[in-house]
């Protein structure tokens, strides 16, 4: 019992490091970079508030669990900004090694459960995973619109690049959210979205 | 449709401010104060990892929803450190005013749903709310043990005060977690828990 709890707490203490992983996106007030732990919390709130955008096959509780876990591998592998340059296969290999180590801190039953939820998210095939991925892509543009440009300005991104890198992925799991975001992004690039 | 989404996003943007509310507890590495957004994320992970500590009447998905929402009122009302001095009735009144404003940004159906989840947490009567409250009290001692004292040192807290202010509340919803924490806290105050 104590040994099991020691393992559970060791994992939870290791997870604390996600609070120090900085993302390309800032807070809405542009005061500082967002970290991946608070981003993960924000996404779980997105899921609660935007559950009406999920298709009938989406299990919103499963979506929330995916979003809680989705960035833990960044503790070892780091965050890869959406508009940055990176090798996708190399990043995936690094994330698998990170998942082995981090989920491996848990007792085996929990390790397998939580790793399974994360793998489902990564595979982006189930309706719940697709919706979770769409929310993960939808939140940064909302932050950028609020902060007046954010990572779009930092990475000198065009409207077409947003459509390509972000829009298509949002549209897979949440088409109405992409329609909404696209309209606001167009207004922003036309200088009209305050 | 767009009007509804505008309200949902206005709420989500307002919620972003929880990332700027600082708590009495630090990160595990003692490098800085924890904010209430990343704390909320950490607690949802505690719920996933420690679900085996919940009694049979606890709905863990409901617990997770409570933990996502539980600190939002701090955007207006601030965080009240566990060992700080404050007037409980006054704080509760401030939090109700905050809840009116913040949940009031949402469309009425969502406002009522999410406010209901938060009120259930605050009432601390349902098995799910009691378990959620226990996790909220259990995480700070784990952070303090990891950082070598944290808010116990800052507030000059004794082992007896921890038992009184924290221990009894953890024990209500998660007795084995309090037994575990108490043993480690005793070792810490005896100078033995590294
Ligand atoms: Ca992410």
**Domain B2-189 is of which CATH architecture?**
Orthogonal Bundle (1.10)
Distance CA A122, CA A114 (A): 12
Q: CB count, 10 Å around CB of B29?
A: 14
Q: Could you report the per-residue pLDDT of B5-57, keeping only the tens digit for each?
A: 999 999 999 999 999 999 999 999 999 999 999 999 999 999 999 999 999 99
Please state the rounded mean pLDDT for residues B99-106: 98
Phi and psi at residue B4, in whole multiples of 5°?
-60, -45
At A126-135, the pLDDT tens digits run 999 999 999 9
Report every protein residue that has its C-beta within 5 angstroms of ion ligand 1. Answer: A 71, 136
Q: In this predicted structure, what is the pLDDT of residue B79?
A: 86
User: Helices A60-69 and A127-147: crossing angle, nearest 10°?
Assistant: 60
Mean pLDDT value across residues B116-126: 98
Percentage of residues in chain A having pLDDT higher than 90: 89
Q: What is the pLDDT of residue B86?
A: 80
Measured torsion, CA atoms of residues B170, B171, B177, B183, in degrees rounded to the nearest 10: 100
* Structure confidence at residue B83 as a pLDDT band (50, 70, 90): confident
The pLDDT, as a whole number, for residue B174 is: 98
Is this complex scored with an ipTM above 0.90?
yes
Q: What percent of chain B has pLDDT over 70?
A: 98
What's residue A10's pLDDT?
98
pLDDT of residue B143: 97
Q: Mind telling me how many Å the CA of B103 is from chain A's nearest CA? A: 11
Residue A116 vs residues A73, A74, A102, A134, B50: alpha-carbon distances, Å: 14, 17, 13, 19, 17
Residue extents of the structural domains in chain A: 2-189
Residue A192, pLDDT score:
67
Contact A1 B146 (CB under 8 A): no
Query: What's the pLDDT score for residue A193?
Result: 61
**What chain A residue is nearest to B4 in terms of C-alpha separation?**
A50
B13 contacts A142? CB cut-off 8 A: yes
Question: For B135-155, what is the mean pLDDT?
Answer: 94
DSSP conformational letter for A35: E
Q: What is the mean predicted confidence (pLDDT) over A95-123?
A: 98
Provide the pLDDT confidence category of residue B193 given band limits of 50, 70 and 90: low
Span B95-113, average pLDDT: 98
Average confidence (pLDDT) over A29-52: 98
Mean pLDDT of chain A: 95
**Cβ neighbour number for residue B89 with a 10 Å cutoff:** 8
How confident is the model over B176-187, as a mean pLDDT? Answer: 97
**Cross-chain Cβ contact A13/B142 below 8 Å:** yes
Per CB-CB distance under 8 Å, the chain B contacts of A147 are none
- Contact flag A142-B61 (C-beta cutoff 8 Å): no
Residues 71-100 of B with CB under 8 A from A: none
- Give residue B192's pLDDT: 67
The whole-number pLDDT of residue A31 equals 96
Residues of B in contact with A142 (CB under 8 A): 9, 12-13
Mean pLDDT for all residues in chain B: 95
B143 at A interface, C-beta within 8 A: yes
Q: Give SS3 for B83.
A: coil
Section B133-157 average pLDDT: 94
A41–B45 CB contact, under 8 Å: no
Mean pLDDT within A182-188: 96
Collect all residues of chain B within an 8 Å Cβ-Cβ radius of residue A11: 49
pLDDT tens per residue, range A113-170: 999 999 999 999 999 999 999 999 999 999 999 999 988 988 889 999 999 999 999 9
| Cα A63 from Cα B64, distance rounded (Å) | 12
How far apart CA A79 and CA A81 sit, in angstroms, is 6
Strands (E), chain A: 22-26, 33-35
pLDDT at A172: 96
Q: At a CB cut-off of 8 Å and minimum separation 6, what does A141 contact? A: A162, A166, A181, A184, A185
């Amino acid at each position: 019992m104590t040994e099991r709890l020691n393992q559970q707490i060791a994992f939870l203490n290791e997870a604390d490091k996600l609070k120090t992983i900085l993302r390309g996106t800032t807070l809405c007030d542009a005061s500082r970079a967002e970290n991946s732990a608070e981003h993960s919390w924000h996404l779980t709130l997105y899921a609660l508030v935007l559950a009406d955008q999920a298709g009938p096959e989406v299990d919103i509780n499963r979506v929330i669990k995916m979003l809680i876990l989705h960035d833990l591998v960044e503790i070892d592998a780091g965050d890869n900004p959406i508009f940055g340059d990176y090798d996708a296969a190399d990043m995936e290999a690094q994330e698998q090694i990170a998942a082995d180590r981090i989920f491996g801190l848990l007792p085996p039953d929990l390790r397998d459960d939580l790793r399974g939820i994360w793998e489902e998210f990564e595979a982006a095939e189930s309706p719940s995973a697709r919706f979770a991925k769409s929310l993960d892509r939808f939140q940064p543009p909302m932050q950028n619109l609020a902060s007046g440009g954010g990572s779009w300005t930092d990475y000198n991104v065009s409207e077409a690049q947003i459509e390509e890198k972000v829009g298509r992925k949002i549209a897979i799991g949440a088409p109405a959210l992409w329609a909404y975001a696209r309209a606001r992004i167009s207004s922003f690039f036309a200088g009209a979205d305050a």
